[in-house]
Amino acid sequence: MRQKTIYFSINSLIHSVSCFLILLFCSFHTHADSYAQEVSIQAQATSPKTVIVRWQLQSAAETIPISYFEVERSIDGRNFTTIETIQSNDVEYYSFVDKKAFASRLHYRLKILNTVGKVTYSETMPVDVILSLASNQFVPSKVETSYIKIHLPSADKHATVQIYDADGVLYFSVEADKSPLIIDINGWQNGEYFVHFRSAQRTEVNQMLVER
């Protein structure tokens, strides 16, 4: 009877340890597989043949040991090529500027590698690339004052106007419903800016030089 009791005790112990290891293994893989979902990614065309990719680590992802990110680009959304590798440096926000966006529509995603070699991918972001500029019919090509005056087309009663600098930083954004639109640019650096104009009738990008 004592031998039988010991036998069952050992079996119970082995079973308990096995269950614990299985749960630990599943927990590890579930945790490792989850960190790609904790990265939010955005990609936007800001100037001709230029796309800025930004991503943010959510609060739960900050404790996960990510080694590095690979920014990948694709023309068809299926076959991707790595265009940049960025090391993780324990910050929440990352960005990369692709200045060689060569097609009218491209797809971007992140390949994410953690410190134990586990690889996952972010969601894929499609981007309509700006290949050419408009003729500056409504936007001044050069500004030498402390304000910008934009004359909205009469047919476009409601339009979104956004202005980015050459590095893809958003300087101004508004839903405009009157013309002219006057924008105070005190404090802006001299240099190139790109004015994005979107309405139900048109979408265009104008180049503007601020030089005061």
pLDDT over 50 at 24, yes or no = no
Q: pTM, whole model, 2 decimals? A: 0.70
Average pLDDT in the chain? 83
pLDDT over 60 at 17, yes or no = no
Of 18-32, 36-50, 112-126, 140-154, least confident by mean pLDDT is 18-32
pLDDT band at 27 (very low <50, low <70, confident <90, very high): very low
Domain ranges of the chain: 35-128, 142-210
The matching CATH number, chosen from 2.60.40.10, 3.40.1190.20, 3.40.50.300, 2.40.30.10, for 35-128 is: 2.60.40.10
How confident is the model over 134-178, as pLDDT tens digits? Answer: 888 888 999 999 999 988 877 776 889 999 998 888 999 999 888
pLDDT band at 12 (very low <50, low <70, confident <90, very high): low
How confident is the model over 58-97, as pLDDT tens digits? Answer: 755 445 678 999 999 999 999 999 999 999 987 889 999 9
The amino acid at 24: L
Q: Does domain 142-210 have CATH number 3.40.50.12280?
A: no
Are 35-128 and 142-210 equal in CATH topology? yes
